Chains A and B, each alone.
Chain A
Amino acid sequence: MLKTAVMRAVLRLLDPLARLLLDAGIGIGEFHELAKRAYVRAALDMSRKDKPNYSQIGVLTGIPRREVATLLENPDTGPPDVERGTQRAERVLRGWWNDPEFSDASGRPAILPLRGRRGSFTSLVNRHAGDPRVRTLLEELLRVKAIRQLADKRLEVLSPTFATARWDGGGIELVGERVRDLLATLVHNLKHPSRPRYTRFVGNAQVDPRFVPLLIRDLTEQAEVLLDSFDDALNDPERLVRPARSAQDAHRLGICIYVVEEPTLVDPVTETSSVTARRGRQPG
């Protein structure tokens, strides 16, 4: 029964993953190799021993002992460093698209000079990223093609977000990180119901398509305010471990909010459904 539920859940989460893999030209054979690597890593993590026991991992995963040894001898490089600067870059882009000081007469994002007290890229970064490293952010945004530099050196914004501008290695690795974080939190809650990490889902499957742009706008704006506030709290220097000569214990702590959107159909009213299915609210 439990195994059936797990398999159904895995199949659900494999749907978007398979779409991503097909888009990237990765076939089932390569995915199979990746799955084996993940199985071996998970089994190693569960055994919690200094020296891996290849036979035990082989029994646990169903992968031949020799292959387990090969996989463990060629570990990958660990988590990618894709988060650096992402949040600040997002804030800058958001400010450019929404702050009237950085809009032109038609309300669209203005083309900005690099420097200047007001209405420049530097003042945009200072206001929205709160970060003096203007050059670093500029290079990062140019690199991912979220902005471009015109012949007269002024800057034009091309994308409203940092993430969707990146159908490249870094952007795809970020997808892996986000899904991994979400799954880790949900699995933690299944295993430790007495001390769950916060998760909550609110949604409705009967939203009128005419109101979707409005609701997405409002959800995004409110999430931005909330996340900026969390960003401030999580980056307060007084609450961070400062690097010292020896390694010190620390925690990675974060929160992720994302919008879910897909088309649905509202079933025609029947005598029985009219009473029970008035509202399409989805529980958290």
Chain B
Amino acid sequence: MGYRPTSHTTTRRVRSSAKRKVQAARETDGRASLARDVSRGNHEHRERMLEQIYRVIVEFADDFGIDRRSTRRLFLKAERLAARSPYRLHQAVDFQTMLRISEILGAWYREPAFLDENGKPRSLPLVGAKSFASLVNRFLPRFRIDDIVDILIAERVLQLDARGELIPMRKTVIFTKPGAMMLDRVPVIVQGLLSTIRHNANTENQRNTRCERLTTLDRLPIEAIPAFNEQVKKLAQSLLNQSDNWAMQRQLAPGSRSRKKSARVGVEVFAYVADESHRKRGGSS
């Protein structure tokens, strides 16, 4: 990669010694205040952050067909609710269902009874001793098996083979269509990200901070984006598998009577493509 100078100044200015000192002092002050602002952030910065977050949310609401009037009404409602009690994960009821479905797939990919000699998940009959129904009954006992099958086939998580048995197509469940589970997941992601940022902002000791890592890659040709997405999915799955393996040896057993305090922890990985086009947004004012 070639070196590119960042400064384009080509002329030299000759200054007197005194002028140079004053100028240098001003520059030093300016730099110090910039550094201070960048590292600490003042009230103005915080307000700007919040404004930009609202802006992103308003754009997101537009994309999901929520008009500005409703957006405003919902904001006021959220403000009232926040005054009463903070948002908690258990409120995302449909997201909990998605987690249970993930556990079904987790068991299918992890338990020897459901694996073939190559470690791949066996195709399972709908009902019977080692069947898909036995997995659903274990993790989602209140749901109808047919409903779960229909949803998972529609989302291409499961497939029916020639014998009418079910095969999982992937290890993870991420619903991409805007159904109840997908929509319930969005505030969970936002809450997870913001809680990590808040925790890290309030933590002095670097060892106690939570993971928050980012890489941005400029100048990626548009045609390479599908390959980029595949690559990140592959790496992310590896990270999640390794996190699962690490945690499995340390988690308390289900229904454990241990007095140890426990918490739900998680890792969310996503890739993004920054949309640099200046599209005009609609919506009522």
Given contacts A214-B119, A229-B235, contact A107 B161 (CB under 8 A): yes
Query: Which residue of the partner chain A has the closest CB to B234?
Result: A225
- Asked if residues A238 and B1 are in contact (CB atoms below 8 Å), the reply is yes
B209 at the interface (CB under 8 A from A): no
When C-beta atoms are compared, the residue in chain B nearest to A218 turns out to be: B241
- Cβ contacts A45-71/B at 8 Å (1 or 0 each): 000000000000000000000000000
Q: A127-B230, A238-B1 are in contact. Are A221 and B238 (CB under 8 A)?
A: yes
Per the 8 Å Cβ criterion, residues 256-284 of B in contact with A are: none
Q: Does A13 touch B at the CB level, under 8 Å?
A: no
Shortest beta-carbon distance, A199 to chain B, in Å?
21
Q: Does A213 contact B (CB under 8 A)?
A: yes
Does B117 make an interface contact (CB < 8 A)? Answer: yes
Inter-chain contact A213/B112, CB cutoff 8 Å: yes
Contact of A100 with B169 at beta-carbon distance under 8 Å, contacts A213-B119, A218-B245, A221-B238 already known: yes
Instruction: List residues of B (226-247) whose CB comes within 8 Å of A's CBs.
Output: 227, 230, 234-235, 237-238, 241-242, 245
User: Is B159's CB within 8 Å of the partner chain A?
Assistant: yes
Once bound together, how far apart are the Cα atoms of A214 and B111, in whole Å? 8
What's the least CB distance linking A116 to chain B, in Å? 16
CA–CA, A210 and B112, complex, Å: 6
Q: Please, how many residues of chain A have a CB less than 8 angstroms from a CB on the other chain?
A: 22
Q: In the complex, which residues of chain B have a beta carbon less than 8 angstroms from the beta carbon of A228? A: 234
User: Which positions 201-218 of chain B face chain A at CB distance < 8 Å?
Assistant: none
A187 located at the interface, meaning its Cβ lies under 8 Å from any Cβ of chain B in the complex = no
Determine if B79 is an interface residue (Cβ-Cβ < 8 Å). Answer: no
| B234: chain A residues within 8 A (beta carbon) | 225, 228
B120 sits at the interface (CB 8 A) = yes
Q: Is A211 an interface residue (CB 8 A)?
A: yes
Q: Is the CB of A216 within 8 A of B119?
A: yes
Contact with B along A94-121 (1 / 0, CB 8 A): 0000001001011100000000000000
What is the bound-complex CA distance between A215 and B111, given in angstroms? 11
Task: Enumerate chain A residues within 8 angstroms of B119, measured Cβ to Cβ.
Answer: 213-218
- A216: nearest chain-B partner, CB-CB: B119
B241 touches A221 (CB 8 A): yes
A106 touches B118 (CB 8 A): no
The verdict on B89 contacting chain A, using a C-beta distance below 8 Å, is no
Nearest chain B CB to A235's CB is how many angstroms away? Answer: 15
* B241: chain A residues within 8 A (beta carbon): 218, 221-222
Q: Which residue of A lies closest to B160 (CB)?
A: A105
Chain B residue at minimum C-beta to C-beta distance from A107: B167
- Given A213-B118, A222-B238, answer yes or no on A106-B123 (Cβ-Cβ < 8 Å): yes
Asked whether A280 is an interface residue with its Cβ less than 8 Å from the other chain, the reply is no
Residue of B110, B123, B162 touching A214 (CB-CB under 8 A): B110
What is the CB-to-nearest-CB distance from A3 to chain B, in angstroms, rounded to a whole number? 43
Q: How far is the CA of A15 from the CA of B75 in the complex (A)?
A: 73
User: Closest CB-CB distance, A234 to chain B, in whole Å?
Assistant: 16
Question: Is A130's beta carbon under 8 Å from chain B?
Answer: yes
A225 vs B235: C-alpha distance when bound (angstroms) = 7
CB under 8 Å from chain B, chain A span 120-149? 127, 130
Shortest distance in angstroms between A173's beta carbon and chain B's nearest beta carbon? 28
Interface membership of B116, Cβ < 8 A: yes
B170 within 8 A of A: yes
Chain B: minimal CB distance from A279 (Å) = 12
Contact B162 A222 (CB under 8 A): no
A238, B119: Cα distance in complex, Å: 39
26 contacts between A and B (CB under 8 A): A100-B156, A100-B170, A103-B169, A105-B159, A106-B123, A106-B161, A107-B120, A107-B161, A107-B169, A127-B230, A130-B227, A213-B112, A213-B116, A213-B117, A213-B118, A213-B119, A214-B110, A214-B115, A217-B115, A218-B241, A218-B245, A222-B238, A222-B242, A225-B238, A228-B234, A229-B235
Going nearest first, the 5 A-B pairs with the smallest beta carbon separation are A217-B119, A213-B119, A106-B161, A210-B112, A225-B238
Residue numbers of A with Cβ under 8 A of B are 100, 103, 105-107, 127, 130, 210-211, 213-218, 221-222, 225-226, 228-229, 238
Using CB atoms and an 8 Å cutoff, list the residues of chain B in contact with chain A: 1, 110, 112, 115-120, 123, 156, 159-162, 167, 169-170, 227, 230, 234-235, 237-238, 241-242, 245
Further contacts, 8 of them, CB under 8 A, given A213-B119, A228-B234, A238-B1: A105-B159, A106-B161, A127-B227, A214-B112, A214-B119, A215-B119, A218-B119, A229-B235
